[in-house]
Structure 1
Amino acid sequence: MFGLAMRSLRKRAGAFGASFLSMFLGATILMAFASMLDTATGDGVTGTARETLVTMASVVGGWGLILVVFAVTSTLTLSVRQRAAEMALLKSVGATPAQIGRMIVGEAAGVAVAAGLLAIVPAALAGRGIVGLLHDTGQVPADVPHAFGPIAVSMGLGITFVSATAAALITARRAARVRVAESMADAAAEKTRLSRKRIAGGALCLLLATYAAVLTCTLMKGKGTDAMASAGQADIAAAIGFAFLAPAIIRGVTALLAAPLRAFGAAGDLAVTTLRRRTGAMSAAVTPIILFTGTAVGTLYLQATENAATDAAGLSKTADQKGVETLNLVVIGMVVVFTAIMLVNTLLAATAHRRREFAQARLTGATPGQVLGTVALESAVLTVIGVACGTVASVFTIVPFGIARMDSPTPDGSVWIFIGVVALAVVLTGATTLGSARRAVRVPAVEAVAA
Structure 2
Amino acid sequence: MIILHLALRSLRHRPASFVASFVSLFLGATILMTFASLLDTRANVDESTGTILTIMASAVGGWGLVLVVVAVMSTLGLLVRQRDTELALLKSIGATPAQIGRLIVGEAVAIALIAFLAAITPAVFTGRLVVGLLKNAQRLPKRVPAEFGPFAIGIGLGITLLAAAIAAAATAWRRARIGVREGLLTASIGEARPGRVRLVAGVLVLATGISAGVLTATVFTGREPALMAIGGQGAILSAVGFALLAPSLLAAITRAVAKPLRRTGASGHLAVLNLHGQTQQLAGALVPNILFTGMATGTLYMQSIENSAATGARTEIARSIETLNYVVVGMVALFAAIMLVNTLIATTVHRRREFGQQRLVGSTPPQVLGMVGLEGAVLASTGVLFGSIASIATVVPYSLVKTGSVLPDATITIYLGVVLIACALTLASSVGTARQAIRVPAIQACR
- In the superposition, the TM-score normalised over structure 1's length comes to 0.96
- CA shift digits 1:248-291 (9 cap, x unpaired): 11111111111111121000000011111111111110111111
Q: CA deviation at 1:139?
A: 2.3
Aligned to 2:249: 249
Q: Do the aligned residues in 1 keep the contact of 2:194 with 2:280 (CA within 8 Å)?
A: no
- CA shift digits 1:66-93 (9 cap, x unpaired): 1001111111101100000000111111
- CA shift digits 1:279-322 (9 cap, x unpaired): 111111011111111011111111111111113xx364584x55
Aligned to 1:374: 371
Q: Distance in 2 between matches of 1:323 and 1:279?
A: 45
Q: Distance in 1 between matches of 2:222 and 2:241?
A: 29
Please say if 1:171 is aligned against 2:161: no
Q: Distance in 2 between matches of 1:226 and 1:167?
A: 31
Aligned to 1:273: 273
Worse-matched range after superposition: 188-197 or 392-401: 188-197
Please say if 1:330 is aligned against 2:320: no
Q: Secondary structure at the match of 2:264?
A: coil
Aligned to 1:292: 292
Aligned to 1:393: 390
Supply the RMSD in Å over aligned alpha carbons: 1.5
Please say if 1:34 is aligned against 2:36: yes
Identity %: 52
Instruction: Please tell me the residue identity of whatever aligns with 2:73.
Output: T
Instruction: Please tell me the residue identity of whatever aligns with 2:169.
Output: L
- CA shift digits 1:381-430 (9 cap, x unpaired): 10000001010000010111111111111113211000111111111111
Instruction: Please tell me the residue identity of whatever aligns with 1:172.
Output: A
Q: Do the aligned residues in 1 keep the contact of 2:246 with 2:287 (CA within 8 Å)?
A: yes
Q: Secondary structure at the match of 1:442?
A: coil
Distance verdict in 2 for CA 1:224–1:151, change over 3 Å: closer
Aligned to 2:13: 11
Q: Distance in 1 between matches of 2:107 and 2:314?
A: 54
Aligned to 1:431: 428
Instruction: Please tell me the residue identity of whatever aligns with 2:435.
Output: R
Q: Do the aligned residues in 1 keep the contact of 2:133 with 2:320 (CA within 8 Å)?
A: no
Q: Secondary structure at the match of 1:384?
A: helix
Instruction: Please tell me the residue identity of whatever aligns with 1:232.
Output: G
Unmatched segments (≥5 aa) in structure 2: none
Aligned to 1:100: 100
Distance verdict in 2 for CA 1:323–1:60, change over 3 Å: farther
Q: Do the aligned residues in 1 keep the contact of 2:352 with 2:438 (CA within 8 Å)?
A: yes
Q: Do the aligned residues in 2 keep the contact of 1:363 with 1:445 (CA within 8 Å)?
A: yes
- CA shift digits 1:360-400 (9 cap, x unpaired): 00001000000000000000010000001010000010111
| Segments of 4+ moved more than 4 angstroms | 315-319, 321-324
Aligned to 1:55: 55
Aligned to 1:412: 409
Q: CA deviation at 1:202?
A: 1.3
Q: Do the aligned residues in 2 keep the contact of 1:76 with 1:167 (CA within 8 Å)?
A: yes
Q: Do the aligned residues in 2 keep the contact of 1:52 with 1:140 (CA within 8 Å)?
A: no
Q: Distance in 2 between matches of 1:124 and 1:223?
A: 33
Q: Do the aligned residues in 1 keep the contact of 2:341 with 2:426 (CA within 8 Å)?
A: yes
Q: Do the aligned residues in 2 keep the contact of 1:285 with 1:346 (CA within 8 Å)?
A: yes
Pairing 1:39-438 to 2, within 5 Å after superposition: 39-42=41-44, 45-224=45-224, 226-311=226-311, 314=312, 316-317=314-315, 319=317, 325-438=322-435
Q: Do the aligned residues in 1 keep the contact of 2:193 with 2:280 (CA within 8 Å)?
A: no
Q: Distance in 2 between matches of 1:8 and 1:411?
A: 52
Q: Distance in 1 between matches of 2:320 and 2:279?
A: 42
Worse-matched range after superposition: 12-21 or 109-118: 12-21
Instruction: Please tell me the residue identity of whatever aligns with 2:269.
Output: D
| Number of positions where the alignment pairs a residue of Structure 1 with one of Structure 2 | 445
Q: Secondary structure at the match of 2:138?
A: coil
Q: Distance in 2 between matches of 1:55 and 1:322?
A: 20
Q: Distance in 1 between matches of 2:16 and 2:158?
A: 25
Q: Do the aligned residues in 2 keep the contact of 1:16 with 1:79 (CA within 8 Å)?
A: no
Q: Distance in 1 between matches of 2:291 and 2:252?
A: 20
Unmatched segments (≥5 aa) in structure 1: none
Instruction: Please tell me the residue identity of whatever aligns with 2:56.
Output: M
Q: CA deviation at 1:41?
A: 1.0
